[in-house]
């Protein structure tokens, strides 16, 4: 080669990224018991004295903690032989229950539970109190003898029941705004109601207004309010006639942000009696989503030596994950890439051509991207101890094998989490290895970023 000739040749690499979305931790110190983020109590039968009833208590802790027990007070006169029904998540299953002095105690093996994850405990085999009233249950989580979080939930027991109770929603998307809930029921006896209450999932918000009501003749509704988990319709004497189906729509609501199956209680209270019923469940499905860069890009100059190039775009240095499944299963983010090929048919060597680590200055750094809670929503940071960095990804012309680049063990990574970021201590570093004898040109690859439930 003649002396003085510049051996450097321009190399531009552009990668189009398709971010695939799959739907489907430490424990802070605690000075004193906190208030539960949400609490809900429902029963399979609302009439006084009913036997073989199941009570379900659903709570969202405010404190990430080791838990061993949950206690729930019940109305005076509640009896029966309690047994454990459906319990979730599975980490708290397999426990035992007792009823003593008006308190149900569910005890289970010690487990660390993240604050955003809701717990649901069903206790079967109960006999309702014989006194009609609206009752308050005090629910408390414990770490052995130490109270962690506490809160209250209400439920009404009445002398008679509505027939054909129902509940429908205009949207079951978590956090959806401007939604309408419609409650239906048929009175089993004529009743002049002064108020009607309808429970909603914990975390429901909004400014409720009365929508369509039928039959139109029931009228006399003077307003609706939302307090805690209860919508209350007030009236000047709402005429509910035996056997006449009623439908009441409430607008202006914002859905809960916690996935689950929710069963509302509908109750009417009058001067000469009251009635209530539990409507069938409506499912608010959770989701698991990953947010990834739309494109990745690298640019460099061939020098006749092996080199690694990093994507220096600040917007590409972060991946987001939002686990709203309320299962505690954990998740892992995977990356797969097709061959980096130029227009002349030449491909970069497949083995380890793309690597991911927690640095944009050191391709060999053995640290992953920094995890942080995203926004103001409570989350539990992921335990990523199973992944070793840097993660090398081997490309293929077709059906490339995906590699896990970030992992959340079970009961971690709950809620919205950001991984990396240009201002983070460890951003997401996307590196491409270019061999000394690579041809100059523009290379392209399809990179697929996915999220999969389970660690």
Cis peptide, bond prior to residue 215, ω within 30 of zero? yes
Neighbours of 241 (CB within 10 A): 16
Q: Which residues pair with 207 in a beta bridge?
A: none
| Domains (range + CATH), the chain | 9-24+287-453 (no CATH), 29-157 (2.60.40.1510), 160-284 (2.60.40.740)
Structure tokens at 161: 């029941």
DSSP character string of 178-239:
SEEEEEEEE-SS-EEEEEEEEE--TT-EEEEEEEEEESGGG--EEEEEEETTEEEEEEEEEE
- Quote the pLDDT of residue 16: 41
419 vs 1: CA distance, rounded Å: 48
Cis peptide, bond prior to residue 390, ω within 30 of zero? yes
202 vs 91: CA distance, rounded Å: 22
- Quote the pLDDT of residue 243: 85
| Strands 441-443 and 9-19, bridge-based pairing | parallel
* 352 CB burial (10 A radius; 0-12, 13-18, 19+): middle
- Quote the pLDDT of residue 192: 83
**Nearest Cα to Cα of residue 118 among 171, 172, 66, 40:** 40
DSSP 414: B
Residue at token pair 């890439």: 337
Task: Tell me, letter by letter, the H, E, C secondary structure of 164-185.
Answer: EEEEEECCCCCCCCCEEEEEEE
- Quote the pLDDT of residue 142: 97
114-153 pLDDT, tens digit each: 988 999 999 999 999 999 999 999 999 999 999 999 999 9
Spatial contact of 396 and 431, defined as CB atoms under 8 Å apart: no
- Quote the pLDDT of residue 8: 39
Q: What is the dihedral of CA 200, 204, 210, 215, to 10 degrees?
A: -30
* 376 CB burial (10 A radius; 0-12, 13-18, 19+): exposed
Cα angle 228, 229, 233; round to 5: 95
Residues of the chain with pLDDT under 50: 1-31
**Nearest Cα to Cα of residue 430 among 311, 340, 292:** 311
């Amino acid at each position: 080669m003649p002396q003085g000739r510049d051996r450097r040749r321009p190399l531009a690499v552009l990668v189009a990224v398709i971010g695939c979305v799959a739907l489907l931790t430490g424990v802070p110190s605690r000075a004193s018991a906190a208030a539960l983020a949400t609490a809900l109590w429902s029963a399979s039968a609302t009439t006084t004295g009913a036997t073989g009833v199941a009570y379900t208590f659903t709570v969202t802790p405010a404190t990430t903690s080791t838990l061993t027990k949950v206690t729930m007070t019940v109305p005076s006169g509640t009896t029966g032989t309690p047994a454990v029904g459906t319990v979730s998540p599975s980490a708290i299953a397999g426990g035992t229950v007792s009823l003593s002095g008006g308190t149900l105690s569910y005890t289970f093996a010690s487990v660390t539970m993240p604050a955003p994850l809701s717990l649901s405990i069903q206790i079967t085999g109960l006999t309702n109190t014989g006194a009609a009233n609206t009752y308050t249950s005090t629910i408390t989580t414990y770490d052995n003898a130490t109270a962690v979080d506490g809160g209250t939930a209400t439920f009404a027991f009445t002398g008679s029941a509505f027939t054909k109770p129902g509940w429908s929603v205009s949207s079951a998307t978590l956090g959806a705004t401007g939604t309408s809930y419609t409650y239906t029921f048929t009175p089993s006896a004529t009743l002049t109601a002064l108020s009607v209450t309808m429970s909603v999932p914990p975390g429901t918000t909004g400014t409720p207004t009365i929508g369509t009501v039928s039959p139109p003749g029931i009228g006399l509704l003077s307003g609706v309010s939302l307090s805690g988990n209860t919508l209350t319709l007030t009236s000047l004497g709402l005429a509910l006639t035996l056997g006449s189906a009623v439908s009441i729509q409430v607008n202006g609501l914002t859905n809960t942000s916690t996935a689950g199956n929710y069963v509302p209680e509908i109750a009417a209270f009058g001067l000469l009696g009251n009635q209530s019923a539990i409507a069938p469940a409506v499912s608010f499905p959770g989701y698991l989503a990953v947010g990834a860069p739309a494109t990745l890009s690298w640019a460099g100059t061939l020098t006749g030596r092996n080199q690694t190039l990093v994507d220096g775009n600040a917007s590409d240095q972060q991946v987001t994950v939002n686990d709203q499944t309320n299962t505690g299963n954990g998740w892992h983010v995977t990356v797969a890439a097709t061959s980096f090929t130029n227009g002349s048919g030449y491909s970069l060597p497949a083995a380890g051509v793309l690597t991911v680590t927690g640095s944009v200055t050191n391709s060999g750094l053995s640290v992953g991207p920094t995890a942080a809670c995203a926004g103001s929503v409570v989350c539990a940071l992921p335990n990523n101890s199973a992944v070793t960095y840097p993660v090398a990804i081997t490309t293929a012309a077709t059906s490339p094998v995906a590699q896990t680049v970030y992992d959340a063990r079970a009961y971690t990574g709950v809620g919205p989490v950001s991984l990396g970021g240009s201002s983070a201590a460890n951003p997401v570093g996307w590196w491409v290895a270019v061999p000394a004898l690579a041809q100059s040109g523009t290379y392209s690859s399809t990179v697929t970023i996915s999220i999969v439930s389970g660690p």
